[in-house]
Amino acid sequence: MVIYGVALLAGCMLVGAFIGQLIGVMIGIDANVGGVGISMLLLILVAAKGQASGRLDPISQKGITFWSAIYIPVVVAMAASQNAVAAVRGGAAAVVAGVLAVVVSCALVPVLSRIGGEPSPPLPDPPSEQGS
Amino acid sequence: MTTIIDLMAGVMSRYGLITAFAIVGITVWVSYQLSARFTKRKLHGSAIAIMLGLLAAYFGGVVTGGSRGVADLEVLAGIGLMGGGMLRDFAIIATAFGVNTKELKRAGTSGIVSLFVGVFVSFAIGAGVAYAFGYTDAVSMTTIGAGAATYIVGPVTGAAIGASSDVMALSIAAGLIKSMLVMAGTPFVAPLIGLNNPRSAMIYGGLMGTTSGVAGGLAATDERLVPYGAMTATFYTGLGALLGPSVIFVVIRAIMG
């Protein structure tokens, strides 16, 4: 059933968010620390187990892959609800700080990519542009 | 005539989330058409869609004077729900389904290193820029540095160390600029910095840290990279909020005397 996949995804998110909040409380900040990342790791582990045991059948998996595929539209909606006016009106100091932080961080990507062995090969070309 | 429009507007606001699905769907379709006709698909349809979204957010903000882009227009309020934190995080987590765990382990160390480097570098740059613009006290420098990390670290840090509200606003603006620049600019810098494999995506997420920026930017570049970048980026804000008001503030205060 499709709902099993959706429920599994929801469960991972709730547990991850709980752990993230717990870490936040433990280190004394009122924020969710890495909750999404923890949820992602949980989903990877649980889904792999489920697939191996056959409990997470292809139909249940659709409950997860749907949300994965709806990700880009969600991001478009996110972009459309940003506070773009505040960003533009922040003034020169805000623009310079934001832009410089991005430029320097970008320049560091190739440097850090060399840590831990040879650079990874690029992903193969996708089969079709519009995807799933 | 007005009653027909009123009726339409009424339906659209009552079914807000459904309206968002329809409008975003049309936007994505138009973007893929533009991508195919005018850029020979060199610029991803999703990249165009995200840029259209940001543009719309700007006009929405100008028209309404609100802070949530087009979502402050009553008929488009559903866009705010669709693009809000809950559904966004739900969809991001779903992208982890099917990631290559071998790649994840291989890139683990460089991902963690990139997180720390990213946080410290952003704070240093933000604090330096603050100094150059005449904010020479440690509290303002740290708060603006925190904004250069992310627009959430900014106010969290500023509140913790007692920054003034104009410095706080400046810090949030710096974070917003960063986030939107990453969203719109990632596909253009990707070929220059080797952003085409899971490992560099994890490093990119760790260095940039803005979850919304990285999530949007990688989606516009190659959506298969999203889970790797998002994985590290989601730890960044927590790390920044932890280090900013503590270690980094103490260091900046020591330097500034």
Among A36, A60, A125, A128, most B C-beta atoms within 10 A, so best to mutate, is A36
Q: Does A84 touch chain B (CB under 8 A)?
A: yes
Closest CA to B73 of B64, B65, B82: B64
Burial profile B105-130: b = 16 or more Cβ within 10 angstroms, e = fewer: ebbeebbebbbebbbbbbbbbbbbbb
Say what the pLDDT of residue A14 is: 96
* Chain B environment of A105 (Cβ under 8 Å): 118, 121-122, 207-208
CB pair distance less than 8 Å for B215 and A95: no
Instruction: Judge: B173–A86 Cβ closer than 8 Å, yes or no.
Output: yes
Contact A39, A23 (CB under 8 A): no
pLDDT beyond 80 at B201: yes
| Average pLDDT value for residue range B20-35 | 94
Q: What is the mean pLDDT of residues B8-34?
A: 94
Predicted TM-score (pTM) of the model is 0.81
Q: Are A81 and B57 in contact (CB under 8 A)?
A: yes
**Residue ranges per domain, chain A?**
2-82, 84-118
CB contact under 8 A, A71 and B225: no
- Tens of pLDDT, residues B70-106: 999 999 999 999 988 899 889 888 988 877 777 777 7
Q: Is pLDDT of A132 > 60?
A: no
Instruction: Report chain A residues whose CB lies below 8 A from the CB of B70.
Output: 80-81
| Predicted ipTM > 0.90 | no
